Each structure stands twice: as structure tokens, then as C-alpha cells.
Amino acid sequence: MAPRAEHVDKGTLKNGPAKGEATMRAIAQNVYGSAEVLHLTQIPRPVPAEHEVLVRVRAAGLDRGVWHLTRGLPYLARLAFGLRKPKNPIPGMDLAGTVVAVGPAVTRFAVGDEVFGSGRGSFAEYAVARADQLAIKPANLTFEQAAAVPVSAVTALQGLRDAGRLEPGQKVLVIGASGGVGSFAVQLAKAFGAQVTGVASTAKLDAVRSLGADHVIDYAREDFADGASQYDLILDIGGNPSLARLRRALNPAGTAVITGGEEGGNLTGGMNRQLRAMLLSPFVGQRLTMFIGKVGSADLEELSGLIEAGKVVPRIDRTFPLAEVPDALRYLEAGKVCGKVAITM
């Protein structure tokens, strides 16, 4: 039996698969570092466990989480990633592809189903995923579009619906509206009946408008916290405004939901600001909260309905072949991405 992908260690990656094993191409990293630590290799195909599905990956999504895993930052996250090197040397979570095998306890999917969702090590020709983190691919999406959805769209959905408690008619501010999560958040907030303002850079304002935003703010020229407008809900995705600025932009009973954030030091990263928000919230009239998104079948199916109804459309900035994942990560690091980047097999 071929070893499971998450158990492939540095030695296996270096020495290659045993003779006669079914193999696949994959991007791997044996140490933390910049894009240069990512390399194309040949490794054994993973085998699905009891509640898992083996997917022939047609496309994978690249998001900021891959950057964090590659770098091993913030250091606090290494408690989950692996202290000295990644526990799973194959990066990638978002995937879309075709089911080629199922575990003995899986009844929701069959060989040949086209699926999308979150798996382990999706920057490979094959990846395993838990059945409860997959759904049937929306019929009107390409594999590349479907691979852009899971982590980013579910994060946007849970941030607005669950953490933000969004209601129709509310005024919503999305900070980081042109990114992976933000591009879905703008569309979802509109689909839920909100009035949406998106914050982005000058070059990306037209793209945010095209997503359906009612208003846009150029963060290089305007201050969303200047008092001209106040919002019922702020979804701060990877932004870095102080809590004081967020509160100035909120109405007295408004909610600020913080997810992500790249400043705050290598030890805790954006978590520092999020934790301070949680500590402050009980003492003020506004809700200041955080959350960590988790991909599940129910949310993927809800998103599928919105996608098939034409209310949400994944925005693909660029696609890169598997061998060029390091270049794709550099493109992401440069801040050029508007929407999502897809990796094709």
C-alpha cells in the first residue's frame, strides 16, 4: 500500500517512490522559506482513509494561507504546521477534480464525480480530502473557477453570515475587497441584500466595482474612517487598520469582523490585533470579533446554489501550471493578484 501523502517525509521526497508504486507529480517543500524552497518532485500517490476521497486534481487554488505555510509564519502557527519543518510537505488546500477512489465509509461520492472542496496537499496530481469537506462541482464552473472557491468563499460566507450576523439592508465595508476572500465577500454581501463599500488599491477599484460594490474607496487617497460614513458591519480581510480606526468607521452598535492581517510581527502576526479586539469588545457598545474559517460540505453546497444562480462568480486573475507554483507564489507576494490564482495540472 502506498504511504499517505501527509506521512511522506524528507527522505521519501529525496529518494523517490519504491519500485512498482503508483506515483504522481507534486510540489513539495522540506523546509520553511521563500518560494525557492518549493520544488517539483515525483512521489507515491496518497491512499484514502475510511472517511476520505481520492481526487484526481484538475486545478488547485492559491491563497495567502499557502504563503504562511511556505514561510512558517507567524511562528505561533508552527504549533499546527510543524515546529522545524512542515508536517505535510505538499502544500495546497483548495482543489477541484474527479473522484478516483473512496474510503469504505464514504457514501456521498462515487468514482467519476466532479467535486470541489478542501484537501491535503492539493498542489499535486492526486490529493485526499475528507468527504465532509467536499461537494459536487457547480455545473457552470470550470475546474479552475471551482478550485478558487472553497477556502476563500467559505471564509467570506462565514465572516458575513456567522461572525458578522449580516442582515438585509445593512451597510457593509469590506477591507481588502479585491483579494481572494474580499472578491467573494463583496458578491455575497450584495446577494444577501446589503449595501457594500469596497476598499482596495487604485489599480483594482474597477475590478471591485465589477463585483457589484455600490461604492469603492481608494485606500491610498481616502480614509474610510474619516467620519463621512459609518457602517453596520466591517469585514477586515488582511487589512491593518488600528482598532481605533475600525471603531470610528462603525456605527455605535456595529460589528467589526477581523480575519487575517499581515503585520504584527513574526511571532503572532495578525493574531495580536484580533486578540486585542476580543478583549476590548465586552467593554464597548460595538462588537469586535474574529473567526477562523472552516470548509464544510454544507457551506460549499450553499455557495454552489448561489454560483449556479449567477449571484457569485469566482474571479480568476491568472493560472499557472503545476511546475510554476514558485512563480505563482511570487506573483501573490508582489500584491498583483485581483481575485484568485489557480494552479492547473
Each residue's pLDDT tens digit, 92-148 = 999 999 999 999 999 999 999 999 999 999 999 999 999 999 999 999 999 999 999
Confidence of residue 5 (pLDDT cuts 50, 70, 90): very low
At residue 118, the 3 state secondary structure works out as strand
Please give the pLDDT value at position 212.
97
The CB density around residue 121, as the number of other CB atoms within 10 Å, is: 27
Could you give the percent of the chain with pLDDT greater than 90?
75
At residue 274, the 3 state secondary structure works out as helix
At residue 311, the 3 state secondary structure works out as coil
Each residue's pLDDT tens digit, 242-274 = 999 999 999 999 999 998 655 555 544 557 788
- For residue 144, what are the contacts with CB-CB under 8 A and spacing of at least 6? 59, 96, 316, 319, 342, 344
Is residue 1's pLDDT more than 60?
no
- DSSP for residue 4: P
What is the pLDDT averaged over residues 58-64?
94
Q: For residues 249 and 232, what is the distance between their CA atoms, to the nearest angstrom?
A: 9
What is the pLDDT averaged over residues 40-46?
97
More confident residue, 161 or 80: 161
Is residue 73's pLDDT more than 70?
no
**Mean confidence (pLDDT) of the chain:** 90
Is residue 306's pLDDT more than 80?
yes
Burial of 110 (0-12, 13-18, 19+ CB in 10 A): exposed
Each residue's pLDDT tens digit, 186-198 = 999 999 999 999 9
Cell numbers placing 26: 507534486
Cell numbers placing 68: 504562511
Is residue 9's pLDDT more than 90?
no
- DSSP for residue 330: H
The CB density around residue 220, as the number of other CB atoms within 10 Å, is: 9
CA contacts within 13 A on the Cβ side of 285: 7
Please give the pLDDT value at position 18.
60
Please give the pLDDT value at position 254.
98
At residue 179, the 3 state secondary structure works out as coil
Confidence of residue 69 (pLDDT cuts 50, 70, 90): confident
Burial of 169 (0-12, 13-18, 19+ CB in 10 A): exposed
Please give the pLDDT value at position 19.
63
Please give the pLDDT value at position 309.
98
Which uninterrupted H or E stretch holds 272?
helix 271-280
Which uninterrupted H or E stretch holds 300?
helix 297-308
